[in-house]
Amino acid sequence: MKKWTTGIVVLGVLAGCGKSSPVLEFSVTNPLDTDRFSETVSISPDEFSTLPGASDPERLFITDKASGDTLVTQLIDNDANGTQDMLLFQVDLKGGEHKKLVAAVAEKDFEMPETEQSVFSRFVPERTDDYAWENDRVAFRTFGPDAQRRIEENLPDGTLSSGIDAWLKRVSYPIINKWYKNNDEKKGAYHIDSGEGYDPYHVGSSRGVGGIGIWIKDSLYASKNFTTYKTIATGPLRTVFELEYAAWNADSIRVKETKRISLDLGSNLSRFESSFESSESLPNITIGLMLHEKEGKVTANKEEGWFGYWEPMDGSELGVGVVIAPDDILEFKDHRVDYKDGSQLLIMADAEAGKIVYYAGFGWKKSKQFTDAEAWNTYLKDFAARLAHPVEVKFTEAKK
Classify 81 as helix, strand or coil. coil
Residue 346 one-letter amino acid? L
The answer on 257 and 240 residing in a single domain is yes
The answer on 263 and 174 residing in a single domain is yes
Question: What does the alpha-carbon distance between residue 90 and residue 106 come to, in Å, rounded to a whole number?
Answer: 19
- Cβ atoms of 89 and 62 within 8 Å: the answer is yes
The answer on 326 and 341 residing in a single domain is yes
Q: What is the pLDDT of residue 5?
A: 31
Does a structural domain hold residue 14? no
The answer on 128 and 112 residing in a single domain is no
Question: What does the alpha-carbon distance between residue 331 and residue 336 come to, in Å, rounded to a whole number?
Answer: 16
Give DSSP secondary structure letters for 8-46.
B--TT--TT------EEEEEEE--SSS-EEEEEEEE-GG
Give DSSP secondary structure letters for 204-262.
TTS-BEEEEEEEETTEEE---SEEEEEEEEE-SSEEEEEEEE--EEETTEEEEEEEEEE
The domain that contains 183 carries what CATH number?
A: 2.70.98
CB atoms within 10 A of CB 272: 22
Strand 219-221 relative to strand 209-216: parallel, antiparallel, unpaired? antiparallel
Peptide bond into 236 cis (omega under 30): yes
Give the up-direction half-sphere exposure of residue 87: CA atoms within 13 A in the CB hemisphere: 19
Does a structural domain hold residue 297? yes
Q: What's the mean pLDDT in 155-178?
A: 96
Q: What is the pLDDT of residue 115?
A: 77
Structural domain of 95: 23-116+390-399
Could you report the per-residue pLDDT of 20-66, keeping only the tens digit for each? 579 999 999 999 999 999 999 999 999 999 999 999 999 999 999 99
Question: Rg of the chain over CA atoms, in angstroms?
Answer: 22
Q: What's the mean pLDDT in 317-333?
A: 98
Q: What is the pLDDT of residue 240?
A: 98
* pLDDT band with cut points at 50, 70 and 90 for residue 11: very low
The answer on 207 and 336 residing in a single domain is yes
CA 349 to chain centre: 19
Tell me what percent of the residues of the chain surpass a pLDDT of 70: 94
The answer on 161 and 73 residing in a single domain is no
User: Quick one: which of 277, 271, 276, 178 has its CA closest to 232?
Assistant: 271
Does a structural domain hold residue 10? no
Tell me what percent of the residues of the chain surpass a pLDDT of 90: 89
- Residue 73 burial class via C-beta count within 10 angstroms: exposed 0-12, middle 13-18, buried 19 and up: buried
The answer on 295 and 207 residing in a single domain is yes
Q: Is the pLDDT of residue 398 over 70?
A: no
Q: Is the pLDDT of residue 291 over 50?
A: yes
Could you report the per-residue pLDDT of 115-150, keeping only the tens digit for each? 776 899 999 999 899 999 999 999 999 999 999 999
* pLDDT band with cut points at 50, 70 and 90 for residue 397: low
The answer on 335 and 310 residing in a single domain is yes
Q: What is the edge-to-edge ordering of all strands in the sheet holding 344-349? A: 219-221, 209-216, 285-290, 344-349, 329-335
Question: What does the alpha-carbon distance between residue 244 and residue 18 come to, in Å, rounded to a whole number?
Answer: 52
The domain that contains 42 carries what CATH number?
A: 2.60.40.1180
Q: Which helix (H) or strand (E) holds 387?
A: helix 373-388
Does a structural domain hold residue 376? no
The answer on 216 and 319 residing in a single domain is yes
Q: What is the pLDDT of residue 10?
A: 37
The answer on 222 and 320 residing in a single domain is yes
Q: Which residues of 136-175 are buried (b: 16+ CB within 10 A; e: fewer)?
A: bbbbbbbbbbbbbebbeeeeeebbbbbbbbbbbbbeeebb
Number of domains forming the structure of the chain: 2
Does a structural domain hold residue 3? no
The answer on 193 and 82 residing in a single domain is no
Could you report the per-residue pLDDT of 339-373, keeping only the tens digit for each? 999 999 999 999 999 999 999 999 999 999 999 99
Mean per-residue pLDDT of the chain: 93
Q: Which helix (H) or strand (E) holds 130?
A: strand 130-134
